[in-house]
Amino acid sequence: MNFSEVFKQSNQLCKVSPDGKYLATCVQYRLVVRDFNSLQIAHLYTCLDPVMHMEWSSDSLFILCAMYKRGLVQVWSLEQPDWHCKIDEGSIGLVSSRWSPDGRHVLNTTEFNLRVTVWSLCTKAVSYIKYPKACQKGVDFTADGRYMALAERRECKDYISVFVCDDWHLLRHFESETQDLAGLEWSPNCCVLAVWDNCLEYKLLLYSLDGRLLSSYSAYEWSLGIKSVAWSPSSQFLAVGSYDEKVRILNHITWKKITEFEHPATIINTKAVVFKEVEKRPVVGSEDLSIHQLTVDNSLFSTQSKYEITQLPAQVPVIKPDPDRANPKIGISALAFSADNRFLATKNGSFQVLSLFWHCSGSSLVLLSKEHICLCYVEAEEEK
Amino acid sequence: FPNPLSSISGISMSPSRQNLHHSLHSTMALPKTSYSVLSAFCTEENISQCIAYINQEVCSLGLTGVSLESKSGSLSAVPVLNLLYEVLQLQRRAQRALHELETQQLKNGSDLEHLQHSNCRLKDQLEHTRRDNSGLHEGERQLQLKIKTLQNWLKSEKEEVQKLQSIISSRATQYNHDTKRKERECTKLKERLNQLLMDKRDKKLSIEISNHVGRSDGKRGLWKTGKMEARHEGEMYKALLSDYETRQRSLMMENSELKKVLQHMKKDMITILSPKKPEPANDSLEQAVSECEEEIGDPSRETLEQSCEQAREQLTNSIRLQWRKLKSHMERLDSQASLVASQEREGEEMMSRKEHEEEMQRMRMELQQCKEFIHMQQQLLQQQLSSPCDEETAALLNDCYTLEEKERLKEEWRLFNEQKRNFERERKNFTEAAIRLGHERKAFEEDRAAWLKTQFLNMTPFVDRKRSALSDSALSVGTEPEAKLQSTPPLVTKSLFSTPKAASVKMPSTADLYRTLHLIPDSRGHGKCQSGEMSTKSRLRNCSTDCSVLSFVRDENSPI
């Protein structure tokens, strides 16, 4: 395995273009675009402020750099390096900025979530969407990029607006039956919108594309409710992870629960295989730690870890969260289906995994923590 | 009179019962001892009075009196004996009664004792139970008190819970109200802010762009019109419809597959239920068969009306019915089978037992054989391993395995040595013969040379130079063979005497050897009779030696 040289970056802004040809990194106020294979600098752009957010457009032709402090967004073109675009939100401030799926519109969310401004790069037209809701996931685009669902809150009630991304035409606007909408997500086949309430109430609503309520699901009352939601890639299943450390799977025909998975602290199920990371640190005597050796021998501090299969019943370390604090670190916080619909990865409790996602082939799972990255290769067994 | 009477009455009126026996004995023993006492009662003079008295007494007792014989004033014995007998009877009866009374008295006494004891015991028990009762009462009372207190506590808790719930609900409404109020304030603020910012919009809010970018799909932008809206709606509904259609299609497929499976199942069940062998008293089955046959006609209808509600229901109902029948049939079969199995089990067991036993027998035999074999092996091994008790036998046995070979080897060695000796002898003879032959030849050649010399000298004296040359040449010729002869024997002898190891010495070829030994006829071809004789002799001898020489030579080369 070869390693490239180390490059500087700031704010963890380092993204590969969707077509895989370029790698863009931000170093303070500079945007560096490198060719992915050779890592040679292809383009170098300078922004007016340290970049807080950077995003590739879907067709890999433009890069968006947002500077929240100044309320500025600058868009750079790869084809024409002299082309420039600067969006100034002015005194209204800027909280978040993102591309639309067609790669020609920039959606800026102003401060205090006052409105979402839709800037068009094609026509210089501006559209405003008032009262967007500030919640866990208030905006979602369909997979084909045709529709956008936005959560709004007016007069102490939740509404959902469905826009056509072509021309930002408001297709549907309907009230949501949630108390306090926490998030919404389109199904991969773009026909169903899953809407869930915040953790004070367990409520999951399913709306069809035209705004009709198809079904609602509530597993229990009073205790803390839904924490995370994930659709399966075929849209057949909806996985709901909640604070009671269970994942419930709903099916798309009846929208009823077909199964639920538990995350017990002691794993007894004989079909389960438990991998435990065992760290091996090389033992270093104190007299050996001279500066010379430190600089030369980097391997002194590298820990090698390998994974062992532990015997069942296996005990999973559980850290009890502080019950007085809000948003306790219990429950299913991350869910991910593999691309071939075969596996569901869940993260329960206060493990240090920040995100998990599958490789597009469905054969490996990537776990990211604050300092480490781990790849889990799944071997699919042939079923007789 | 009064004295004897009082004495008698004193006797008859025995006071206490302790003296009863005494008195009885005394009365029984009356005749002997008391006769002297009674003698006072009846004397010769007062017989009639005694009789009168006795009659009185007897009458009071209910017996017939005794009458006096007026004849001689003496008593007739018969009535007196009868009287006496009756009195005795009376006495016996009285005794018996007394006895009974005494036993009764004893019994009563013991009963009385028993009753007294039980009375005491019961009194104690009663006391005890009374005490327990009072204790239990006390406990019950306390428990009642406890219940009361707990109930009170429960009530108070319930009240508290209700209170708290009401508090919670009121607070919840309060919070909701507050949040709503705050949210309204917030929206107002936002509105205000929005307004303010809108006013300033023209100044600051802007987008600077070098030039417009084409749309990602390459089309031109369109105006927002009603047609556009309609188109959007249409597209949306199209997307929904297509999704529903795909879903419906997949469900239909699933449905049809399941229906097919059900049909197959039904057919299978029918075939199972319609038995090939006639079974007695299975009316239900026959009914089922007839029903099934009726229903077989249905599938054709069913396939046509797949979406028909009735057909679906019919199918499911028929399947359910069949399944129930199958279940009952199976249960019946199970019970039958268990019965039959229990009957047949013995027979089967016996059959299998026989085979089983045969197998076992065979295996035992095998086992026995193997064991014996192993035992034998073990014994042999033991003999092997265990060292012999004395050294002599050990020494003797040491090489017992190789004895045969050793004997053979010895034999061969002997033979070998013999042969060796023979060869030595022959070699010696041969060398001697060769030496002799050499000497004889030398002599012969000398003779011949001399003869030739004389011949030449006898020839013409003019050919001196030629003669001398010839003689030189002849001499040389003559000497050549001589030299040859001289050289060859030493060569031969050398070869003969050479050690077996020096096989690298160049051996004369066999042809030369034969030639020198005159075994092969020479090109010169002079042979004298002497030499011929000699040669034949020597040839004969040499033949034998030659063979041995040659064989010896050969043996030299072969490693020994």
Residue B150 has pLDDT above 90, yes or no: yes
Task: At A346, give phi and psi (nearest 5°).
Answer: -130, 150
- Going from the C-alpha of B133 to that of each of B14, B119, B126, B140, B147, the distances in angstroms are 57, 21, 10, 10, 21
Residue A135: what pLDDT?
86
| Tens-digit pLDDT profile for residues A49-59 | 889 999 999 88
Residues A232 and A334 in one domain: yes
Residue A4: what pLDDT?
75
**Spatial distance between the Cα atoms of B405 and B411, rounded to a whole number of angstroms:** 10
Confidence of residue A316 (pLDDT cuts 50, 70, 90): confident
Q: Where are the domains of chain B?
A: 46-67+77-199
Question: Is B475 or B178 the better-scoring residue by pLDDT?
Answer: B178
Dihedral sign, Cα of residue B31, residue B36, residue B42, residue B45: positive
In CATH, what number is assigned to the domain containing residue A82? 2.130.10.10
CA-based nearest residue to B72, from B36, B48, B99: B48
Residue A349 has pLDDT above 70, yes or no: yes
**Spatial distance between the Cα atoms of A216 and A240, rounded to a whole number of angstroms:** 13
Residue B414: what pLDDT?
94
Q: For A210, which of B216, B228, B236 is closest by C-beta distance?
A: B236
Partners of residue B254 in chain A, C-beta under 8 Å: none
Residue A383 has pLDDT above 50, yes or no: no
Question: Is B104 or B195 the better-scoring residue by pLDDT?
Answer: B104
Residues A158 and A263 in one domain: yes
Tell me whether residues A189 and B207 touch, CB distance under 8 A.
no
Residue B476: what pLDDT?
45
Q: Which DSSP string corresponds to B371-427?
A: HHHHHHHHHHHHHHHSPPSSHHHHHHHHTGGGHHHHHHHHHHHHHHHHHHHHHHHHH
Partners of residue A190 in chain B, C-beta under 8 Å: 239, 243
**Spatial distance between the Cα atoms of B195 and A114, rounded to a whole number of angstroms:** 11
Token pair of A308, please?
């062992």
Residue in B with minimal Cα distance to A112: B190
Residue in B with minimal Cα distance to A87: B207
Residues A164 and A198 in one domain: yes
B276 touches chain A (CB under 8 A): no
**Spatial distance between the Cα atoms of A21 and A56, rounded to a whole number of angstroms:** 12
Residue in A with minimal Cα distance to B243: A191
For residues A150 and A161, the answer to whether their CB atoms sit within 8 Å is yes
Mean pLDDT computed over B98-118? 96
Mean pLDDT check: name the lowest of B72-81, B231-240, B318-327: B72-81
Confidence of residue B95 (pLDDT cuts 50, 70, 90): very high
Token pair of B261, please?
């499976």
Task: At A253, give phi and psi (nearest 5°).
Answer: -90, -45
Dihedral sign, Cα of residue B77, residue B78, residue B80, residue B85: positive
Mean pLDDT check: name the lowest of A227-241, B100-114, B283-297: B283-297
Domain count, chain A: 2
Mean pLDDT computed over A9-36? 86
Tell me whether residues B224 and A102 touch, CB distance under 8 A.
no
* A82 found inside a domain: yes
Residues A172 and A226 in one domain: yes
* A346 found inside a domain: yes
**Spatial distance between the Cα atoms of A178 and A218, rounded to a whole number of angstroms:** 12
In three state form, how does the secondary structure of B341-387 look? HHHHHHHHHHHHHHHHHHHHHHHHHHHHHHHHHHHHHHHHHHHHHCC
Residues A81 and A142 in one domain: no
Task: Tell me the β-bridge partners of B209.
Answer: A85
Q: Which helix (H) or strand (E) holds A162?
A: strand A157-164
Residue A355 has pLDDT above 70, yes or no: yes
* A8 found inside a domain: yes
B193 touches chain A (CB under 8 A): yes
> How many helices and strands in chain B, by DSSP H and E?
15, 1
Tell me whether residues A88 and B207 touch, CB distance under 8 A.
yes
Single out the residue in A109, A130, A151 at which a domain terminates: A130
Q: Is B403 exposed, middle or buried (0-12, 13-18, 19+ CB in 10 A)?
A: exposed
Task: Tell me the β-bridge partners of B418.
Answer: none
Tell me whether residues B204 and A91 touch, CB distance under 8 A.
yes
**Spatial distance between the Cα atoms of A236 and A344, rounded to a whole number of angstroms:** 13
Partners of residue B215 in chain A, C-beta under 8 Å: 102, 104, 122
Query: Ranked by mean pLDDT, which of A209-223, B98-112, B171-185 comes out on top?
Result: B98-112
Single out the residue in A130, A147, A163 at which a domain terminates: A130
Residue A248: what pLDDT?
92
Residues A211 and A102 in one domain: no
A87 touches chain B (CB under 8 A): yes
| Tens-digit pLDDT profile for residues B269-320 | 888 777 654 444 444 455 555 555 555 545 555 555 555 677 778 888 888 8
- Going from the C-alpha of B420 to that of each of B405, B423, B426, B559, the distances in angstroms are 22, 5, 10, 14
Residue B441 has pLDDT above 60, yes or no: yes
Residue in A with minimal Cα distance to B182: A156
Residue B124 has pLDDT above 90, yes or no: yes
Q: Which residues lie below 8 Å from residue B98, measured CB to CB, with a gap of 6+?
A: B20
Of the residues A169, A179, A221, the best mutation for testing chain B's interface (the one with the most B CB atoms within 10 Å of its CB) is A169
Q: Which residues lie below 8 Å from residue A160, measured CB to CB, with a gap of 6+?
A: A149, A150, A151, A152, A172, A173, A174, A175, A176, A181, A184, A193, A195, A207, A211
A81 touches chain B (CB under 8 A): no
Q: How far is B188 from chain A (nearest CA, A)?
A: 10
For residues A291 and A277, the answer to whether their CB atoms sit within 8 Å is no
Residue B5: what pLDDT?
52
Q: Number of A to B CB contacts under 8 A, please give it.
A: 113
Mean pLDDT computed over B382-402? 68
Confidence of residue B36 (pLDDT cuts 50, 70, 90): low
For residues A133 and A113, the answer to whether their CB atoms sit within 8 Å is yes
| Tens-digit pLDDT profile for residues A135-177 | 888 899 999 889 999 999 888 899 999 999 888 888 999 999 9
Confidence of residue A123 (pLDDT cuts 50, 70, 90): confident
Q: How far is A84 from chain B (nearest CA, A)?
A: 6
Q: Which DSSP string corresponds to B1-48?
A: -HHHHHHHHHHHS--STHHHHHHHHHHHTIIIIIHHHHTTT--STTHH
For residues B261 and B255, the answer to whether their CB atoms sit within 8 Å is no
Domain that holds residue A324: 133-282+302-353
**Spatial distance between the Cα atoms of B473 and B445, rounded to a whole number of angstroms:** 15
Token pair of A184, please?
């919404």
B217 touches chain A (CB under 8 A): yes
Residue in A with minimal Cα distance to B207: A87
Residue B188 has pLDDT above 50, yes or no: yes
Residue A107 has pLDDT above 50, yes or no: yes
Mean pLDDT computed over B260-270? 85
Confidence of residue B34 (pLDDT cuts 50, 70, 90): low
A103 touches chain B (CB under 8 A): yes
**Spatial distance between the Cα atoms of A89 and A104, rounded to a whole number of angstroms:** 18
Residue B25 has pLDDT above 70, yes or no: no
- Going from the C-alpha of A13 to that of each of A49, A110, A371, B67, B361, the distances in angstroms are 14, 21, 15, 165, 86
Tell me whether residues A90 and B205 touch, CB distance under 8 A.
yes
User: Could you tell me where the DSSP H helices lie in chain A?
Assistant: 291-296
Q: How far is A310 from chain B (nearest CA, A)?
A: 42
Residue A305: what pLDDT?
66
b/e code B531-556 from CB counts within 10 Å (16+ = b): beebbeebbebbeebbebbeebbeeb
B428 touches chain A (CB under 8 A): no
Residues A67 and A188 in one domain: no
Residue A239: what pLDDT?
92
In the block, tokens 């067994």 appear at A381
Q: Is B145 exposed, middle or buried (0-12, 13-18, 19+ CB in 10 A)?
A: exposed
Residue A329 has pLDDT above 80, yes or no: no
Q: For B213, which of A92, A122, A169 is closest by C-beta distance?
A: A122
Question: Is B431 or A12 the better-scoring residue by pLDDT?
Answer: B431
Pairing of strands A314-315, A266-267: antiparallel
Residue B512 has pLDDT above 70, yes or no: no
Residue B333: what pLDDT?
87
Query: Ranked by mean pLDDT, which of B180-194, B322-336, B403-417 comes out on top?
Result: B403-417
* A91 found inside a domain: yes
Tell me whether residues B251 and A209 touch, CB distance under 8 A.
no
Residue B248: CB atoms within 10 Å: 11
Q: How far is CA A312 from the centre of its chain?
A: 33
**Cα R_g (chain A), whole angstroms:** 24
Partners of residue A89 in chain B, C-beta under 8 Å: 205
Q: For A189, which of B209, B214, B243 is closest by C-beta distance?
A: B243
Residues A89 and A102 in one domain: yes
Residues A45 and A123 in one domain: yes
Residue B258: CB atoms within 10 Å: 10
Q: How far is B319 from chain A (nearest CA, A)?
A: 25
Residue A368 has pLDDT above 90, yes or no: no
Q: How far is A78 from chain B (nearest CA, A)?
A: 13
b/e code B185-197 from CB counts within 10 Å (16+ = b): eebeebeebbeeb
Question: Is A154 or A323 the better-scoring residue by pLDDT?
Answer: A154
Q: For A114, which of B190, B211, B228 is closest by C-beta distance?
A: B190
- What was the ipTM of the complex prediction? 0.72
**Spatial distance between the Cα atoms of B489 and B72, rounded to a whole number of angstroms:** 202
Of the residues B197, B202, B203, B238, the best mutation for testing chain A's interface (the one with the most A CB atoms within 10 Å of its CB) is B197
For residues B11 and B22, the answer to whether their CB atoms sit within 8 Å is no
A180 touches chain B (CB under 8 A): no
Residue in B with minimal Cα distance to A165: B232
For residues A184 and A193, the answer to whether their CB atoms sit within 8 Å is yes
Q: What is the arrangement of strands in the sheet containing A204-208, beginning at the earlier edge strand?
A: A181-186, A192-197, A204-208, A213-217
| Tens-digit pLDDT profile for residues B206-242 | 777 777 777 766 666 666 677 888 888 888 899 999 9
Residues A123 and A137 in one domain: no
Question: Is B491 or B311 the better-scoring residue by pLDDT?
Answer: B311
Q: Is B74 exposed, middle or buried (0-12, 13-18, 19+ CB in 10 A)?
A: exposed
CA angle A342, A343, A344 (to 5 degrees): 140
Task: Find residues 197-216 of chain B whose CB sits inside 8 Å of chain A.
Answer: 197, 200-201, 203-216
Work out the mean pLDDT of chain A and round it to a whole number. Answer: 81
Token pair of B333, please?
């079969």
Residues A26 and A113 in one domain: yes
Q: Which DSSP string corresponds to A226-295?
A: EEEEEE-TTSSEEEEEETTSEEEEEETTT--EEEEEE--SEE--TT--EEEEEEEPPP--GGG--HHHHH
Amino acid making up residue B283: D
Tell me whether residues B239 and A209 touch, CB distance under 8 A.
yes
**Spatial distance between the Cα atoms of A359 and A377, rounded to a whole number of angstroms:** 10
Residue B477: what pLDDT?
45
Residue B44 has pLDDT above 60, yes or no: yes
Residues A262 and A166 in one domain: yes
Mean pLDDT computed over B527-553? 46
* A294 found inside a domain: no
Question: Is A241 or B223 the better-scoring residue by pLDDT?
Answer: A241
Confidence of residue B390 (pLDDT cuts 50, 70, 90): low
Residue B500 has pLDDT above 50, yes or no: no
In chain A, the percentage of residues whose pLDDT exceeds 70 is 88
Task: Find residues 45-64 of chain A whose CB sits inside 8 Å of chain B.
Answer: 58-59, 62
For residues B515 and B485, the answer to whether their CB atoms sit within 8 Å is no
